[in-house]
């Protein structure tokens, strides 16, 4: 194949953003997607936050086929046989431009791919990239099913596992410490049932996260997002933590046990399973690739480890869009200069540092170490449930003062060296 | 619900050749075998007779967790060829 300006490996949200921005400027860009269409290999929890992206791709994001506007944030802490839920809603979530939407990627990415093509970008589906072409250490293109495709610059947008980042020598094989596996079911209802069951106005949605006993001591949690006429339900398990936990259960058994919980089972009644999926999440300790570029290559989105898990919010797609956009800005400049070496592409990192992408990564660089504390999933949720159970339970004999029960609970759970240390560490999130 | 029933609702286009190759000589030395427990599709099992790892590659959800979890790099791991494998309709 003839040399092109840019080859994007992977038609996900980061790769497509980059391709869209380049095609818009009339640059020659080729997206290689190994699935039948962009999105057919992609999975999200998930939800996207739109505010951070208003200065990036508003025309795309405000017109895209998204699912429901999230107006309800719910967090449940799960004990062995009890649970405690905190629910938050605000009219701010209803203001335009909307704060956050649930999203299904197969549909969204396919639509986004069509917009890229409209701008003059090329998307070749069913094309797997197996290797990077190298010349004297420099990346000079890709190999797709034994066909060489030379390019001035390669954009690695190949997701969490990023074999391209690995081949480019920007990191070694993804380590268990830095990855979690997500298992997800898409379950179909009618929009009316979803709105009634979750207490939602038409078109509005809920984002619900679960922590505690459900992951059986493993770092991770459960999630439930309401889409238009489906819900996305799943569990996320840190891979290193899964191995170290010594649990005998398989990942899919942990997921099934989560679904069997009374709190969940009642939400799933009469739903029909329409898809089962699994995907990796980079849980890089909110530490992305130390250098997301090299000679002739830029790495965007999950491939670069641009995700942020703060327990209460879990984000990835905003960083993929922003990094894809900034990669495109960098490539445009490199094209003008006619130089695609690492020294020119280093501009990408400067732009990332000036944006919310690396600023967020930096602010929260230690948060995962704190959340990964086993007591966060293995003790505190259960402890809160136990204290509340004692407060709400009316037994046969005389009842203790509620203040005494609460105070004893606080003493037992927090006012000890371990508890105070955990509390102190929380300030670093 | 067992993983096999769940996989039956997914759209697969199966290739004739496996995209993941297990280097059995390495696995025989591995005590932990976390691949047996991590696969969301439950595709890894162990042969009672030969103690070899059996992999049913056709139901692969392509998450890559087996590649990440393998402590000895015993898997020659590729994505399925272009156009093959799972095709998510929701994602």
How do residues A44-82 score in pLDDT, each as one tens digit? 999 999 999 989 998 898 899 999 999 999 999 999 999
CB-CB contact of A95 with A260 (8 Å): no
A369 pLDDT band (50/70/90 cuts)?
confident
A286 has pLDDT over 70? no
Instruction: Please provide the CATH number assigned to the domain covering B19-81.
Output: 3.30.70.20
Closest in A34, A44, A181 to B82, CB measured: A34
pLDDT at A285: 59
Closest in A34, A43, A174 to B68, CB measured: A174
Mean pLDDT for chain A?
Answer: 93
pLDDT at A278: 98
pLDDT at A284: 60
**In chain B, what are the domain boundaries?**
19-81
CB-CB contact of A44 with A104 (8 Å): yes
B29 has pLDDT over 90? yes
Q: What is the mean pLDDT of residues A168-186?
A: 94
A371 has pLDDT over 80? no
Task: Calculate what percentage of chain A has a pLDDT beyond 90.
Answer: 78
Predicted complex: ipTM over 0.85? yes
Contacts of B43 in chain A (CB under 8 A): none
* pTM of the shown model: 0.95
- Determine the Cα–Cα distance for residues A143 and B73; give it in Å rounded to an integer: 23
A393 has pLDDT over 70? yes
A411 has pLDDT over 80? yes
Closest in A44, A128, A243 to B91, CB measured: A44
For the segment A339-354, what is each residue's pLDDT rounded down to a tens digit? 999 999 999 999 999 9
CB pairs under 8 A between A and B: 149
Q: What is the mean pLDDT of residues A198-223?
A: 95
A313 has pLDDT over 90? no
For the segment A125-164, what is each residue's pLDDT rounded down to a tens digit? 999 999 999 999 999 999 998 999 999 999 999 999 999 9
A306 has pLDDT over 90? yes
Q: Provide the CB-side half-sphere exposure for A354 (13 A, CA).
A: 6
For residue A73 the two structure tokens come to: 């944030």
Burial of A132 (0-12, 13-18, 19+ CB in 10 A): buried
| CA Rg value for chain B | 13
In this predicted model, which residue has the larger pLDDT, A178 or A126? Answer: A126
Task: Calculate what percentage of chain A has a pLDDT beyond 70.
Answer: 99
Chain A 215-244, residues with CB within 8 Å of chain B CB atoms: 230, 232, 239, 242-243
A25 has pLDDT over 70? yes
Contacts of A145 in chain B (CB under 8 A): 81-82
A366 pLDDT band (50/70/90 cuts)?
confident
Chain A 95-154, residues with CB within 8 Å of chain B CB atoms: 104-109, 125-128, 130, 144-145
């Amino acid at each position: 194949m003839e040399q092109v300006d840019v080859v994007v490996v992977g038609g996900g949200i980061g790769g497509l953003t980059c391709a869209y921005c380049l095609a818009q400027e009339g640059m020659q860009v080729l997206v290689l997607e190994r699935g039948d269409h962009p999105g057919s290999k992609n999975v999200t929890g998930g939800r996207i936050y739109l505010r951070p992206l208003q200065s990036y791709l508003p025309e795309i994001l405000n017109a895209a086929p998204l699912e429901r506007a999230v107006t309800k944030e719910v967090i449940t802490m799960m004990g062995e046989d009890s649970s405690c839920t905190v629910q938050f809603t605000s009219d701010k979530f209803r203001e335009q431009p909307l704060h956050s939407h649930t999203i299904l990627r197969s549909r969204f990415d396919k639509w986004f791919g069509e917009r890229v093509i409209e701008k003059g970008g090329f998307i070749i589906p069913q094309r797997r990239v197996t290797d990077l072409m190298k010349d004297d250490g420099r990346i000079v293109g890709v190999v797709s099913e034994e066909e060489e495709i030379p390019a001035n610059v390669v954009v690695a947008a190949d997701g969490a596992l990023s074999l391209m980042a690995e081949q480019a020598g920007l990191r070694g094989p993804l380590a268990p410490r830095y990855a979690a596996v997500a298992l997800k079911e898409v379950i179909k209802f009618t929009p009316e049932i979803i709105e009634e069951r979750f207490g939602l106005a038409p078109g509005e949605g809920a984002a619900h996260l679960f922590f505690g006993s459900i992951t059986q001591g493993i770092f991770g949690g459960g999630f439930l997002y309401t889409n238009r006429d489906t819900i996305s339900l799943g569990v996320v398990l840190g891979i290193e933590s899964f191995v170290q936990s010594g649990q005998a259960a398989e990942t899919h058994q942990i997921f099934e046990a989560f679904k069997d919980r009374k709190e969940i089972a009642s939400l799933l009644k009469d739903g029909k399973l329409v898809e089962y999926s699994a995907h990796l999440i980079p849980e890089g300790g909110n530490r992305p690739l130390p250098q997301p570029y090299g000679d002739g290559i830029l790495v965007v989105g999950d491939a670069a480890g641009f995700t942020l898990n703060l327990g209460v919010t879990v984000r990835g797609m905003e960083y993929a869009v922003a990094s894809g956009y900034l990669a495109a800005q960098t490539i445009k400049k490199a094209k003008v200069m006619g130089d695609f070496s690492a020294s020119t592409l280093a501009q990408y990192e400067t732009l990332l540092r000036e944006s919310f992408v690396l600023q967020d990564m930096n602010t929260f660089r230690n948060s995962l170490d704190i959340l990964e504390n086993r007591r966060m999933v293995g003790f505190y949720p259960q402890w809160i449930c136990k204290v509340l159970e004692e407060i709400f339970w009316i037994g046969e004999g005389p009842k203790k003062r509620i203040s005494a029960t609460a105070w004893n609970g606080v003493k037992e759970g927090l006012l000890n060296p371990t508890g105070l240390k955990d509390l102190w560490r929380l300030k670093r999130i | 619900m067992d993983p096999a029933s769940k996989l039956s609702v997914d759209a697969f286009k199966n290739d004739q050749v496996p995209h993941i190759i297990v280097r059995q000589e390495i696995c025989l030395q591995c005590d932990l075998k976390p691949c047996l427990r991590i696969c969301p599709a439950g595709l890894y099992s162990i042969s009672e007779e030969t103690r070899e790892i059996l992999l049913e590659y056709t139901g692969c959800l392509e998450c890559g967790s087996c590649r990440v979890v393998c402590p000895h790099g015993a898997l020659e791991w590729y994505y399925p060829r272009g156009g093959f494998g799972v095709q998510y309709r929701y994602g």
